[in-house]
């Protein structure tokens, strides 16, 4: 009898992902904007919410926003590889396995919705579930690769956080919370289209029908101007309904005037000077972030200091 010893080589496959990669999947910059606007919605809402419950609500809104970002990165990994702006994302570079990202996104989404509903209230939990589902299924899966209206319709997901914050504090939705929704909803197209004007080649390569790719840059500039004007008008509503005070009105007027002036500049330069046109679009994109932050920040400060009742 011959004894045969079989040795088996065990191969250990190590993931190249680091903690920073998993954080990057959650799109922290997008998540921070959602958290800040949700916090504003919660603070300016009538009534009183216990600080601990409020902190818990913000935590799970942040986790829900991060879950939506992870699922977006999971689904869009193929086109992210083709665009310079997104090519270094962890999934696009293969540092995080696709199935791992999917599991992470689903777990965070389920956990955030369930905990927000159980600990805070189910209206806020349902709105968070709607936001995640809308961002993933309506925007990412359905609209983004099919229509140039992807940003317009899909922008509703990014506009819902202040409504969730309001619902966390009051257990419901009001006209005032929808005003905050409208500001972000109308602000989103000029914000993203100004970036798209400078990244048209990226979107063409990836087959994403952003407005500059499908309708051309001239039409995009015209739409930027129209939506910028609508945004400025919408920002005045809180001041005239008592939600915002004098400081808010001043910021809305001054910031809105500059926002509109930059949009007009983008429109007027047109294709006459591509370098100047791209510079103007980048300036509008950068200022749009500051503009939205300033609007919500002054609302938040006014209510914290008791300047608005």
* Residue pLDDT, tens place only, 274-290: 889 999 999 999 999 99
Instruction: Say if residues 194 and 266 touch (Cβ distance below 8 Å).
Output: yes
Q: Is the dihedral of CA 12, 17, 23, 25 positive or negative?
A: negative
Instruction: Say if residues 105 and 76 touch (Cβ distance below 8 Å).
Output: no
Instruction: Say if residues 63 and 112 touch (Cβ distance below 8 Å).
Output: yes
Tokens linked to 119: 């600990």
To the nearest whole percent, how much of the chain has pLDDT over 70? Answer: 94
What is the reported pTM?
0.92
Q: How confident is the model at residue 47 (pLDDT cuts 50, 70, 90)?
A: confident
What's the CA dihedral at 222, 223, 226, 232 to 10 degrees? Answer: -120
The per-residue pLDDT for range 183-242, each reduced to its tens digit, is: 999 999 999 999 999 999 999 999 999 999 999 999 999 999 999 999 999 999 999 999
The confidence score (pLDDT) of residue 309 equals: 72
Q: Is the pLDDT assigned to residue 12 strictly greater than 50?
A: no
How many CA within 13 A on the CB side of residue 42? 25
Q: How confident is the model at residue 11 (pLDDT cuts 50, 70, 90)?
A: very low
Phi, psi of 81 (to 5 degrees): -65, -20
Q: How confident is the model at residue 129 (pLDDT cuts 50, 70, 90)?
A: very high
With CA atoms as reference, report the closest residue to 249 among 307, 195, 191, 181: 307
The confidence score (pLDDT) of residue 10 equals: 36
Tokens linked to 222: 């015209």
To the nearest whole percent, how much of the chain has pLDDT over 90? Answer: 90
Instruction: Say if residues 174 and 42 touch (Cβ distance below 8 Å).
Output: no
Q: How confident is the model at residue 9 (pLDDT cuts 50, 70, 90)?
A: very low
d(CA 302, CA 167): 20
Q: Can you give the C-alpha Rg of the chain in angstroms?
A: 22
d(CA 145, CA 236): 34
Q: How confident is the model at residue 60 (pLDDT cuts 50, 70, 90)?
A: very high
The confidence score (pLDDT) of residue 76 equals: 97
Q: How confident is the model at residue 106 (pLDDT cuts 50, 70, 90)?
A: very high
Instruction: Say if residues 228 and 190 touch (Cβ distance below 8 Å).
Output: yes
């Amino acid at each position: 009898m011959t004894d045969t010893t079989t040795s088996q080589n065990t191969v250990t496959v190590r993931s190249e992902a680091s903690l920073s990669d998993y954080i990057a999947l959650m799109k922290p910059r997008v998540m921070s904007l959602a958290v800040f606007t949700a916090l504003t919605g919660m603070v300016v809402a009538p009534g009183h919410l216990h600080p601990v419950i409020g902190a818990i609500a913000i935590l799970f809104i942040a986790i829900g926003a991060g879950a939506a970002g992870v699922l977006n990165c999971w689904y869009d990994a193929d086109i992210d590889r083709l665009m310079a702006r997104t090519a270094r994302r962890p999934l696009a570079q293969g540092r995080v396995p696709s199935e791992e990202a999917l599991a992470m996104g689903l777990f965070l989404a389920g956990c955030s919705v369930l905990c927000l509903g159980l600990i805070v209230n189910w209206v806020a939990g349902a709105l968070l579930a709607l936001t995640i589902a809308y961002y993933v299924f309506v925007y990412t899966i359905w609209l983004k690769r099919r229509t140039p209206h992807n940003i317009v319709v899909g922008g509703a997901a990014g506009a819902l956080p202040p409504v969730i914050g309001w619902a966390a504090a009051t257990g419901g939705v009001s006209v005032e919370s929808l005003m905050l929704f409208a500001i972000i909803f109308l602000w989103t197209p000029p914000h993203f289209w100004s970036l798209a004007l400078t990244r048209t080649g990226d979107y063409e390569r990836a087959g994403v029908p952003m407005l500059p790719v499908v309708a051309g840059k001239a039409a995009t500039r015209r739409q930027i101007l129209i939506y910028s004007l609508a945004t400025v008008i919408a920002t005045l509503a809180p001041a005239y309904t008592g939600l915002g005070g004098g400081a808010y009105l001043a910021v809305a007027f001054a910031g809105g005037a500059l926002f509109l002036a930059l949009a007009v500049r983008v429109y007027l330069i047109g294709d006459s000077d591509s370098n100047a046109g791209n510079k103007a679009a980048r300036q509008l994109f950068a200022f749009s972030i500051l503009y939205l932050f300033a609007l919500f920040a002054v609302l938040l400060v006014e209510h914290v200091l008791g300047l608005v009742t």
